[in-house]
A and B are shown apart, each in its own frame.
Chain A
Amino acid sequence: QVQLVESGGGVVQPGRSLRLSCTASGFTFSSYGMHWVRQAPGKGLEWVTIISYDGSNERYAASVKGRFTISRDNSKNTLYLQMNSLRAEDTAVYYCAKDRGYYYDTTGLAYVMDVWGQGTTVTVSS
């Protein structure tokens, strides 16, 4: 079945770095854009970043631009999120999500998240 599994979360001090991973299975990973979405404790959903199917196109939320980098390794069916200069306000559950694409072009970026991982928790605290 279609599945996304995140890993790499943990407790980290402000200013430090962390790398999250998301391993995909059950679909052709290399044909779809992928997102990271986060949810601070007790809060709503916040989109973080997206990467195109081939890694050639990336977009970021203003709150993380210049600090976070999304990447992917299609040979390993894995998505990454490199998080640098972490701040307390980055504390959240981080979800990876598959972009739905379009019925006529799965590689297109529809910004609709149709499959989600279970999430990994990042806590930024001294």
Chain B
Amino acid sequence: DIQMTQSPSSLSASVGDRVTITCRASQSVSSYLNWYQQIPGKAPNLLIFGASSLHSGVPSRFSGSGSGTDFTLTISSLKPEDFATYYCQQSYSTPPTFGQGTKVEIK
């Protein structure tokens, strides 16, 4: 199975900050990398698929980049509703695997 490792595991940030989360795969996943947001007590929501494509309805302050083994999710200017846990997931091979999550907390 492909292992996905996110860093950091948690971070504190203020409204308006630029936030970057990193995801590393244990082997190349090409561009088959997706990002999800999970607000506490809620189901996850798809943000980014194919490493950099914004899912319908997702604000443009979210962006993704990378290919191969190293990927980044960036929130350009943090809003109050962005405080959540973010997961990366590879869809290159079965089983699809998730990172352990990055919790974005209010500073």
Write the residues of chain A forming the contact surface with B, with a CB cutoff of 8 angstroms.
Answer: 37, 44-47, 59, 61-62, 95, 100, 110-114, 116-119
Contact = CB atoms under 8 A, between A and B. Distances in A.
24 contacts: A37-B44, A44-B87, A44-B99, A44-B101, A45-B38, A45-B44, A45-B87, A45-B89, A47-B95, A47-B98, A59-B94, A62-B95, A100-B46, A111-B32, A112-B34, A112-B49, A112-B91, A113-B34, A113-B44, A114-B46, A114-B49, A116-B45, A118-B43, A119-B43
Nearest to B45: A116
Contacts, number: 51
B99 A114 contact: no
Interface in B16-41: 32, 34, 36, 38
- Shortest Cβ-Cβ A-B pairs, 8 listed: A111-B91, A116-B43, A45-B98, A111-B96, A114-B46, A112-B49, A47-B96, A44-B101
A44 B100 contact: yes
B93 to A, nearest CB: 9
B23 to A, nearest CB: 13
A59 B44 contact: no
B49 A61 contact: no
Contact of A95 (B44, B46, B95): B44
Among A44, A112, A119, the most chain B Cβ lie within 10 Å of the Cβ of: A112
B49 A100 contact: yes
Nearest to B87: A45
B72 to A, nearest CB: 18
B82 to A, nearest CB: 18
Contacts of B69: none
B91 A114 contact: no
B87 A95 contact: no
B62 to A, nearest CB: 15
Nearest to B34: A112
A119 B42 CA distance: 8
A75 B16 CA distance: 48
Interface in B42-93: 42-46, 49, 55, 87, 89, 91
